[in-house]
Structure 1
Amino acid sequence: MREYEKEYRDAWSHIFEADPGEADKFYVNVAYPYPSGAMHVGHGRTYIVPDVIARYYRMRGKHVLFPMAFHVTGTPVIGISRRIANGDEKTIKLYRDLYRVPEDVLEKFVDPDEIVRYFSSEYERIMRNCGLSIDWRRRFTTVYPQYSKFIEWQYLHLMEGNHVVRGAHPVKYCPQCDNPVGDHDLLEGEKAEIVKFVLIMFKWNDFLIPCATLRPETTYGVTNLWINPDVIYRKVLVDGQKWILSPEAAKKIGLQDHVVEDLGEIKGSELVDQTVSNPFCGEVPVLPATFVDPNMATGIVMSVPAHAPFDYIALRDLQSAGKYTSIKPVPLIVVEGYGECPARDAVERSGIKDQNDPGMETLTQEVYSAEFSGGRMLPQYGGKPVKVAREEFSQIMLEQHGSHVMYEFDVRNVMCRCGGTVYVRILKDQWFLQYSDPVWKEAVHEQLKEINIVPAEVRAEFDRTIDWLNDWACTRRVGLGTKLPWDKNWLVEPLSDSTIYMAFYTIAHKLIKLEAAKLTPEVFDYIFLGKGSSEGLPLDKETVEDLRSEFLYWYPYDFRFSAKDLISNHLTFQLFHHKALFPKELQPRGMVVFGMGLLEGAKMSSSKGNVILLEDAVEEVGADTVRMFLVGSAEPWQDFDWRRELVSSTRKQIERFINNVEDSLEADGEYPIDTWLISRMQEHIKNATAAMNSFQTRQALQEAYFAIESDLKWYRKRLPGDVRQSAAVNKISDSWIRLLAPFIPFSAQKLWEEIGGEGQVAFSSWPEPDESLIDPSLELAEELLSRTVEDIDSIMKLIQIEPSGLTLFISPDWKFSIFEKISMADNKGKVISEIMKDEDMRKRGKSATDAAKQITNLIHRLPPEVVERISSVSIDEEEVFESAREFIEKEFGLPLNIVPAEESTHQKAQQALPFKPAIVIE
């Protein structure tokens, strides 16, 4: 870290504390972190991007609130604490070696509160090191008693609105914690979804053998069962019925509202070649298959080779060895693009060799999707569309043929942070948020239309999430958190207590100083909803009115920043809760959704050690380098890739910026090219401002840094003699520093002081373009000149002779006329024929036709803004090159000839086009 970064970090301790004022407010917030481990650069991007936006709007004259808190409720820190207390080597190594927790501190991590205290302090320290312009007075953790009172108030209202219900639902459950768990509680399987299977029951002697399927309508086509001969299965009594299940399945069924008693064991091999029966497919054999996973569903699989590629190829493999050759696929479904047996067609067409082929998963999904969306059952099986038959058949099996529902995850391994395996459990007395309520869903859909979503394309994902969200288990038995106000045996779970804390932020610094017992529901009703009176409450009237006033000044929030993987839970949950609690005028205004982080092309993962700690990055290359790379390497909603080589390059870019400004401090002298540099700066200010208004931080940096640096390179080329700097560079430095201040605040502050700027650059005004300083003709002339110099340079590198002279042939006026007509045309293909109807063009014949085609190609290659400027701004190309004669001759060491193309018989002259003179080097 640079010394001046440390100096300014300390000086900025309190300057970003925001209180209500006369200016318009801008309230930006970000998903608060769960401080259970060290911050890595992925976390850094999460908090630096909104900081850049906060700093930008502060410079635009807004009164900006950017708060921070720490989410510590739930079981993650408890799980970590238990693993450390139990001497789990992997966990201890992670915290000692990767997170570098001192030994004396690590010893205290057997207490989860110590983990919270240590890492929340570490997070704040590192965020300060990164220059985040946070109002730290508002810091709290979600176990503060004042925050718990706020959560109690929220849930009392949700209960009153019938948004919280008690019932039996499948939930993710950790037996080791004896608790429902959410995504934040998981070490593995964070994205696991609960899938509903139907158990098709096959009879074998006195036992039932259940097979789980998502496609019950295919039971007609079962030709056999698959069983793993190497697994020892369990004979169990399930609700009084004898079943055979894998050991893992017996445990899962026992968690899903069934009474399970163990009756002994049976080897899978003992069932091979036995015959089982089902009324829809008759008697079928049990065949051996080592690919059957005892951890998936019941550990026994029904085989439908006509419609399941895995079943078809497994059967084919057996039959190729001369076994079970009498078994034939039974076609059930007709679907366009496939023959009688879709699974066989798909496998044979794809050239799949065996069941271990990696293409099998994709192939299976293709067949299943095709059959579900466009398939129809054959007439003898009802003739209905598959999607209709599936629902009807499920009901028949469940109601009339002893089938049951079994819930399972769509991924193999789901693990709690405590180290235990997570299962699906049916909880009967659990409290649920009723996200399935169609009235609530519709209200949220309507509200979503009013919210500014960035990027716009993720709006559809929000709508999809609102549609498929089902009831959510919002309580658990153990962990840190707030007790449910009407049922103290339950705690509100982490994703359910973090939905409207953005409202708490607005007055957090005042609430955490008050006695929690005085924060009654009536107090919050008045503060947040304006209900009741400010008199007769546990707090004095002046305090309550002050809290109400400050809340209304800041709320609603203007933009919330969070990762795209939270659309499926937190980001959508908070929309539901806002809609249930707050009036229309206090609903969220905008959200910006982040992409994910990569490290050298691979997904970042703390648990796997594939991370760069944020503190290490800041120490190695400086906070400004980290900031500039994280906001400039990709737009916020795009995935970014932390690559050491590119990060080092960013550090050099900042150094060049500092050198450019410092070198210009004593520069003087005025030159003709100065006007161009100053004009260009106005353009960059406009473009950077437009990009920032759209949250395009990468594009804004392209304008605010790279485009200006590129201009300076050209500018120095155009200065006379050995002159390297001039007063013009000093003139633009003021604006340049302010443009980059949100991105690299430490370096900007250093330079701001060096050029004599007053106070903090963070509170200076964002640059405004001065239209009177923009010279379109001059900019176009220099663009023409730079492009021509680049073309000459390219040709010089290719020629094999020692050149003696350089000629530029200038395009005639009639080609400019063609250029203008083509550039302005909506249909550039048809416009050529229109042009050729002109009498003058007809006389030119093939020359005009060829020119029109060449100009069309040129227009496609040029940037749209350059094309527009060529068509709207008039310059004399011959005069442009004549005035730059000395520069061009010096640049290439050749005498220059400038010749109007129509005055020459040289063959090359005919190729001269607008903005692209023909070049001859002899």
Structure 2
Amino acid sequence: MDHDRSSGEGVGPQEYTLIKMRVQELHGKLASLAPKVVFLIAATLRPETMYGQTNCWLGPDLNYITIEAKNGDVYVCTKRAARNMAYQGMLRVENKVLPIVEMKGYELMGTKLTAPLTSYKTIYTLPMMTVKEDKGTGVVTSVPSDAPDDFAALIDLKNKPALREKYGITEEMVNVEPVPIIDVPEFGTLISAPSVCQMMGIKSQNDKEKLVEAKEKVYLRGCYEGTLIIGEFKGKKVQEIKKAIQEKLVKAGEAELYQKPEKQIISRSGDECVVALCDQWYLDYGENLYGDVPGDFGIKAKEMTPEVWDYIFHQTNSMPKTTIKKEALEKMRNEFTYWYPVNLRASGKDLVPNHLTYYLYNHTAIWPTQKEMWPTGIRANGHLLLNSEKLSKSTGNFLTLTDALDKYGADGMRLALANAGDSIEDANFETQVADSGVLRLWTFVELAKELMIEKDTMRSGPNTVNDKMFIAEMNLKIRESEEHYKTLMFKESLRTGFFEYSNLFHQYRERAQVQSGLHWDLVHRYLTTQVLLLSPICPLISDYVWQNILNNERSILHASWPSTDEPDLSVTKASEYLAEASHCFRLRLKSHMTSGKGKKGETPTAPQPPSHGIGWVAKTFPKWQSIILTTMHDIYKKNKSLPDNKELSKALGSAPSLKKYMKKVMPFVQAVRERMDKFGESALKDTVEFDECSILEENMDYLQATLDLEGIELKWTEECENERTQEEVVPGEPYLTFFNATCLQLELINPQPHTGLFQAILPVYENDNLAAILNIHEDNIS
């Protein structure tokens, strides 16, 4: 199971065909095995290529063992491969490897073998330097017509007498030619491996990179497109007859089925894993498991007839004919009804392909016509990561439940877990998020205390524009959070119901500070709804605020989900517009105040802070942009989506009025696409859904205060003499320019003797009155 793996999660077993090549003469260390029948066994994924065997490869320096098979024969392979076989019921002693003889690969060179399907009566074991102990069985069948590696190694032995002499290989042993077995597209009737080696200039088995590329070409084409041109399946596609050839070999006793992991798997104990054939047991539901031993109601197993089961599980409402008391039947039926139907089944993603799938099958099989008994929802979650890394005791990357509670508290840990992720992708518990979450929860508690103390200083009465914006935004976030909770999207619930919700209050507070102040009814509603939205994730802190700070008599567990009016989306969009506009204005001011480059050797002079600003607002987009938006909107309404930019370019290129602007068309189209990601279809409209000037005018005090300006005048872009401003300012994105207005500088001096003197310069602008001077210049004269 994946739970027990240190590495190799998700890796499954892969089936091989074990080709049995019989040793003709037992020499050397193999002589002690007589009169046993001895086989060198090779694992292959391509049993159909055995028609082309010319020899057998062994690693000269690899360690090999002989082991006794279940039928008394003896197999030669690596110890690692024997371990796999031991757990698959292939050896005389199960689950153990008992070597009879051990030897090096070079001690077996030149051994005569009889191999299945090949046209050669005798093939020989030859040395191959690239045979690996951790791959297959350490014994490799050689098919040089189909495998570039085999062909290159065979050519090396033919061309290098010294190499043959080193391992006692005679010229006769390598005097073989590749056997054509598969017709491959591109290569035709040519022999695939020699052909591709010649085309790619492969001259030796040392051309490793080229051989990898050649193998991919030949293997894939041969396996999926090739046609067999030899044997009883001649003329058939390789894909069609692969299994038939495998079955033929197994039935003839010339091969066995063998499995090994697709990739290396290491258990948590550090052992390398094998594929094991395990004893399994199954419940026989028809077997009388309990005999005549009575249960709580004196019911015997034989009394539990199909009719009784049907009645208990609501497959029928007809009282069964039985000796069981009605009272007992009703009690069992009611106990079942208590748990069914299931609203939600929660489990891990690793159970999706097995348990959870059959969970659905079982319910539809038991209640084929009663859909109300079927599960209504399944939620699968991923595994848990800690700081983006897999949990592992061996690496020290783990956190116990006790340690997490001690460090972050229950609510801090729950917040970090909720933020870890919602999908079946692995969830990531971040200690940094847990730390900041604890701080954020503490900050909220302190804010709640502070606001309750300031209650008497807050206003009541009619709602301002700022109040209405905050009300609409609260309604929207409450609705969004409710939907996220219903679909068990806890990270999204945390985002809309805590992070964004608290940000909305701070935005409201910032605006209210320079306008008419906080409204108590809204502040109280915010605190009340905030703890309710947060309570499913952080119940302890929410209940503390609910009872100890908001002074509710009963626990928050008895409270209902907050009710809301339908969110006024035009108002929420207006609030978003104001937030975005004020942010852009601040960036404009920062850019305006950036020091320019002075002359060489001189310190640049900082620009003088501006006193006033002009906010430019566009009624509509420039004509060429309006044409693009209208065209895109028409296409969107027709197709319910936008085509790719290539199609849009074709549609827009035919408009004569756009020819002058073709270099700007596609950048604008891309900008509109990005706006659609944020605002949806409304990004395709030529105007905005609210009065920009009214929103800016109604919040002018806030804008002037946040920018530290004496005044801001609003104008339409069509009044601007700057052509670039007319061209680039669009609806929903106002632009601000700055200037210093003419003023009368009043010098204020305190003439009082024997006191701390002060001197201040007080600018007085045109149309200033006493109230304006006192409000705007309060800091200057305090």
TM-score, normalised to structure 2's length?
0.71
Shift in CA distance, 338/763, structure 1 to aligned 2, threshold 3 Å: farther
One-letter identity of the residue aligned with 2:531: I
CA contact (8 A) 2:50 2:118 kept: yes
Q: 1:101-122 CA distances to partner (integer Å, 9 max, x unpaired)?
A: xxxxxxxxxxxxxxxxxxxxxx
Matching residue of 1:824: 633
Aligned counterpart for 1:664 among listed residues 451, 461, 465: 451
2:137 aligned with 1:285? no
Matching residue of 1:274: 111
Matching residue of 2:238: 386
Question: 3-state SS of the aligned residue for 1:569?
Answer: helix
CA contact (8 A) 1:632 1:697 kept: yes
> Pairwise mapping of residues 152-231 of structure 1 onto structure 2 (< 5 A)?
193-206=12-25, 207-228=38-59, 229-231=61-63
Give distance in 1, aligned partners of 2:198 and 2:459: 77
Give distance in 2, aligned partners of 1:409 and 1:837: 59
Aligned counterpart for 1:886 among listed residues 701, 719, 725: 701
Give distance in 1, aligned partners of 2:577 and 2:501: 18
One-letter identity of the residue aligned with 2:542: A
Shift in CA distance, 856/300, structure 1 to aligned 2, threshold 3 Å: closer
User: Larger deviation: 820-829 or 231-240?
Assistant: 820-829
> Pairwise mapping of residues 454-473 of structure 1 onto structure 2 (< 5 A)?
473=280
One-letter identity of the residue aligned with 2:101: E
Matching residue of 2:616: 809
One-letter identity of the residue aligned with 1:220: Y
Q: 1:385-444 CA distances to partner (integer Å, 9 max, x unpaired)?
A: 22113123223323346323334444545769898976533x7xx6xxxxxxxxxxxxxx
2:374 aligned with 1:557? no
Question: 3-state SS of the aligned residue for 1:691?
Answer: helix
CA contact (8 A) 2:414 2:537 kept: yes
One-letter identity of the residue aligned with 1:202: M
Give distance in 2, aligned partners of 1:592 and 1:367: 44
Aligned-pair identity in percent equals 22
One-letter identity of the residue aligned with 2:484: A
Shift in CA distance, 660/535, structure 1 to aligned 2, threshold 3 Å: farther
Matching residue of 1:14: none
Segments of 5+ residues of structure 2 without an aligned counterpart are: 26-37, 165-173, 596-606, 637-641, 740-782
Q: 1:77-100 CA distances to partner (integer Å, 9 max, x unpaired)?
A: xxxxxxxxxxxxxxxxxxxxxxxx
Give distance in 1, aligned partners of 2:533 and 2:557: 11
User: Larger deviation: 755-764 or 667-676?
Assistant: 755-764
> Pairwise mapping of residues 72-471 of structure 1 onto structure 2 (< 5 A)?
193-206=12-25, 207-228=38-59, 229-234=61-66, 236=68, 239-247=71-79, 249=81, 253=85, 260=92, 264-265=100-101, 267=103, 268-278=105-115, 279-280=117-118, 282=120, 283-288=122-127, 292=131, 298-304=137-143, 307=146, 323=163, 332-333=181-182, 341=192, 371-377=222-228, 382-400=234-252, 402-412=254-264, 424-425=276-277
Q: 1:796-817 CA distances to partner (integer Å, 9 max, x unpaired)?
A: 3444342424332211346596
Matching residue of 1:566: 351
2:410 aligned with 1:645? no
1:881: how far off? 2.1
1:873: how far off? 6.1
Aligned counterpart for 2:718 among listed residues 902, 906, 911: 902
CA contact (8 A) 2:54 2:142 kept: yes
1:904: how far off? 1.6
Matching residue of 1:739: 533
CA contact (8 A) 1:236 1:245 kept: no
CA contact (8 A) 1:902 1:909 kept: no
Question: 3-state SS of the aligned residue for 1:382?
Answer: coil
Question: 3-state SS of the aligned residue for 2:101?
Answer: strand
CA contact (8 A) 1:190 1:414 kept: no
Question: 3-state SS of the aligned residue for 2:563?
Answer: coil
Shift in CA distance, 599/273, structure 1 to aligned 2, threshold 3 Å: farther
1:515: how far off? 4.4
CA contact (8 A) 1:332 1:377 kept: yes
Give distance in 2, aligned partners of 1:300 and 1:409: 18
1:891: how far off? 1.3
Matching residue of 1:750: 544
Give distance in 2, aligned partners of 1:211 and 1:336: 28
Give distance in 1, aligned partners of 2:302 and 2:556: 43
Shift in CA distance, 914/543, structure 1 to aligned 2, threshold 3 Å: same
CA contact (8 A) 1:673 1:718 kept: yes
Give distance in 1, aligned partners of 2:198 and 2:495: 49
Q: 1:807-838 CA distances to partner (integer Å, 9 max, x unpaired)?
A: 32211346596687367333567889999999
2:513 aligned with 1:720? yes
Aligned counterpart for 1:615 among listed residues 392, 402, 409: 402
Matching residue of 1:594: 381
CA contact (8 A) 2:110 2:125 kept: yes
One-letter identity of the residue aligned with 2:343: D
Matching residue of 1:918: 735
One-letter identity of the residue aligned with 1:287: L
CA contact (8 A) 1:332 1:378 kept: yes
Matching residue of 1:866: 679
Question: 3-state SS of the aligned residue for 1:765?
Answer: coil
1:711: how far off? 1.5
Question: 3-state SS of the aligned residue for 1:673?
Answer: helix
Q: 1:192-248 CA distances to partner (integer Å, 9 max, x unpaired)?
A: 644433222223215332212221012134344233444142164652545434456
Q: Which has the higher contact order (CA 8 A, sep 6+)?
A: 1
1:856: how far off? 4.0
> Which protein is bigger by CA-based radius of gyration?
2
Question: 3-state SS of the aligned residue for 1:759?
Answer: coil
Shift in CA distance, 219/836, structure 1 to aligned 2, threshold 3 Å: closer
Shift in CA distance, 630/349, structure 1 to aligned 2, threshold 3 Å: farther
1:681: how far off? 0.8
Give distance in 2, aligned partners of 1:272 and 1:404: 24
CA contact (8 A) 1:230 1:290 kept: no
1:341: how far off? 4.2
Question: 3-state SS of the aligned residue for 1:826?
Answer: helix
User: Larger deviation: 415-424 or 521-530?
Assistant: 415-424
Shift in CA distance, 273/750, structure 1 to aligned 2, threshold 3 Å: same
**Aligned pairs, how many?**
659
One-letter identity of the residue aligned with 1:807: I
One-letter identity of the residue aligned with 1:239: N
Shift in CA distance, 722/821, structure 1 to aligned 2, threshold 3 Å: closer
Give distance in 2, aligned partners of 1:259 and 1:856: 69
One-letter identity of the residue aligned with 1:616: D
Give distance in 2, aligned partners of 1:857 and 1:289: 58
One-letter identity of the residue aligned with 2:419: G
CA contact (8 A) 2:380 2:424 kept: yes
Q: 1:15-71 CA distances to partner (integer Å, 9 max, x unpaired)?
A: xxxxxxxxxxxxxxxxxxxxxxxxxxxxxxxxxxxxxxxxxxxxxxxxxxxxxxxxx
1:876: how far off? 2.2
CA contact (8 A) 2:9 2:265 kept: no
CA contact (8 A) 1:684 1:703 kept: yes
Q: 1:278-327 CA distances to partner (integer Å, 9 max, x unpaired)?
A: 24152443234576566766442224456557767877998998746988
Give distance in 2, aligned partners of 1:557 and 1:529: 14
One-letter identity of the residue aligned with 2:716: P
CA contact (8 A) 1:678 1:732 kept: no
Cα RMSD after superposing both structures:
4.8
One-letter identity of the residue aligned with 1:265: V
Shift in CA distance, 420/794, structure 1 to aligned 2, threshold 3 Å: closer
1:684: how far off? 0.9
Aligned counterpart for 2:501 among listed residues 683, 703, 708: 708
One-letter identity of the residue aligned with 1:233: I
One-letter identity of the residue aligned with 1:875: F
2:568 aligned with 1:759? no
Give distance in 2, aligned partners of 1:358 and 1:713: 62
Segments of 5+ residues of structure 1 without an aligned counterpart are: 1-181, 431-472, 476-481, 490-513
CA contact (8 A) 1:183 1:190 kept: yes
Aligned counterpart for 2:331 among listed residues 539, 542, 546: 546
